[in-house]
Amino acid sequence: MTLPISLFEKREELRRVLESRNFAGAPKKTRFLEFVSEQTFLGNGDKLNEYLIGVDVYDRGSDFDPQKDPIVRVQAHEIRRLLKKYYEEDRKDSLIRIDLPPGHYVPVFSRSTPEEANVAEPPAEPAIPGPLNGSRLHRALTLTLAAACLTLVFLLTTSGRRHEQATGSRPPVATLPESTEWFWGPFLLPSEAPLIVIPNHPLLRAAHDGDSPQTLASGHEIPKASLPEFRDTIHFRELKRFLFVPSLTDFTSVGETMGVVSLCEMFSSVGQKCRVQQSRLVNLEEIKRGNVILLGGNQAWSGRVFLNVEGFHFQSGVILNRSPRAGEKPVYKPEFDPVTNQLTRDYALVLMLPNERKENRVLLIYGIYTQGSQAAIEYLKNPERMVELRKALVDLSADHKTIPPYFQALLTTTVENAVPGASSLVAVRAIPN
C-alpha cells in the first residue's frame, strides 16, 4: 500500500520547486504553478481551464480568447519542461514530485520511488461496498484506535481497583521534586486549582473570505509586494489581497500558550486541576478570589497588580530597574541580530505576590516578547534552575536560611530562529510582607 501524500508534504514540495533556480527567475511561471496547485489544494481542480489561468495569472482581461492567444498552453509546456529538468538535475532523489500532465492544468503529486513508500499490507478484511477512500479509512482507523484506548483504560482502571481491593490502600500521591515544590507548593493540593490567565493582545490580522462585510470594511490594505517576508506562507498563496483587520479576540501569544500546556502537564502529574481563561474575560475581582497565574504582560488590569511594587518594573517593552545594584543595568532591553533583525535575547519578569487573602498567591510571568514568557515557565519547572533561584532568594534573607514568601526574579534567555533557548537568572528582589 502506497502512503498517501499529505497536504503539508505537497506544500513543502511546491515551495522547494518554486524556490529552485528553474523557477526563481520566472515570476509568471512561478505564479502559474502556484495558482493551479493552490486551486487543487482547495478542491477547485475541476474548475481550472485556459481562460481562468489566462485571466488570473496573465491578466488577460475578461475578453481573453484562448483560441487566439495561446499564452497558457505555451507556458504550460514550458513549466512541464522545467519540472522535468528540475527532477532530472536538481532533485534526482526527491521522494515526491510534481507533474503537469499534457493537456491538463491540474498538477499531480506522486511519490517518485514507490518502493520506498510502501508499507506491509494488512490482513484481508471483509469486503466493504464501494471504494475505501481517505475519509473512510481515517474514520476506520480513528474508531479502531478509540476502541483500543477505551479497552486499555478499562483494563488499567480494573487493574487499579483490584490492586486497591487486594492491598486495602490507594497508590501514593505524586509530588513535585523538592527543588521545585518550594515554589509551586501554594498552587498544589489541597489548595484550589489556580486560575491561569493568558493574554489577548490587540493586533491586525489578515482578513479572509469568512469575514463579514463589516469586518472587511474596517480593514487596512497593504500591497503584497511590500511584504516579502510573507512570501512562503499559506496566506501569501491563498489571499488575493493583504487586507488586515483589527482584532481583540483572535490571538493569544504562542509562547504563553506553550507555557499553559507545560504548566497543565505539571499540575496534572500531581493530581491538581488546571483552569485556563483569556484575560479579556477576567476582571480584578476574579483575580482576588484565589491562586492565580498571569502569563504575558499588557493585560488590561496588570498595572494595578504592579502598584507599589519596588524593584523591577515592566513598562513599554522594557524592564526598568529602579535601584540598580552592583553589576546590574538600569534598563533591560531585548537584543536583535544587526543583519537579520531577528530577536536574539529576551528578558522576563517573575513576581510572586500575596493575593487578597495571604494564603493565596498571584504569580506573574511576563516576557518582553512571547519567547521570554515561554523560557521563564520552563525555567520555573526545571529542578536544577530552581536550586539556583532558591539559593539567590535565601541569600537575601537576614538569616540566610529563610526563603522570602514574596519576591521578584529577572530572567534572560537566548533566542534562535524565534525559539527560546535556556534561561538564566539575572537578579532577584525580596518584596516586603
Radius of gyration of the chain (CA): 29
Question: Which of 281, 280, 279, 209 minimizes the C-alpha distance to 245?
Answer: 209
Q: Are 256 and 374 in contact (CB under 8 A)?
A: yes
Q: Which pLDDT score, from 0 to 100, does residue 297 have?
A: 66
For 111, the 3-state DSSP assignment is strand
Pairing mode, strands 220-221 and 331-332: unpaired
- Strands in 203-206's sheet, in edge-to-edge order, are 203-206, 243-247, 220-221
Say whether the peptide bond before residue 177 is cis (omega within 30 degrees of 0): no
Domain boundaries, the chain: 7-117, 183-200+252-430, 205-247
Helix boundaries (H) for 101-231: 114-117, 134-167, 178-184, 213-217
Q: Which pLDDT score, from 0 to 100, does residue 379 have?
A: 96
Task: Tell me the pLDDT of the chain (433 aa) as tens digits.
Answer: 567 888 888 988 898 899 888 888 888 999 999 999 989 988 888 889 999 999 888 888 888 898 889 999 999 999 999 999 999 988 888 889 999 999 889 999 998 654 443 443 344 433 333 343 444 444 444 444 444 444 443 444 444 445 445 445 444 557 899 999 999 999 999 999 999 998 887 788 888 888 888 888 889 999 988 888 888 787 787 888 899 998 877 766 789 989 999 999 999 999 999 999 888 788 778 888 899 999 986 555 555 555 445 689 888 889 999 889 999 999 999 999 998 888 999 999 999 999 988 899 999 999 999 999 999 999 999 999 999 999 999 999 999 999 999 999 999 999 998 899 989 999 999 998 7
Q: Are 377 and 262 in contact (CB under 8 A)?
A: yes
Q: Which pLDDT score, from 0 to 100, does residue 259 have?
A: 92
> At residue 123, what is the residue type?
P
Distance CA(49)–CA(55), nearest Å, equals 10
pTM, whole model, 2 decimals? 0.60
Q: Which residues contact 106 (CB under 8 A, 6 or more apart)?
A: 36, 40, 45, 46, 48
Question: Which of 402, 220, 256, 410 minimizes the C-alpha distance to 331?
Answer: 410
Where on the phi/psi map is residue 327: left (φ > 0), alpha (ψ -120 to 50), or beta?
left
For residue 47, what is its C-alpha cell?
474548475
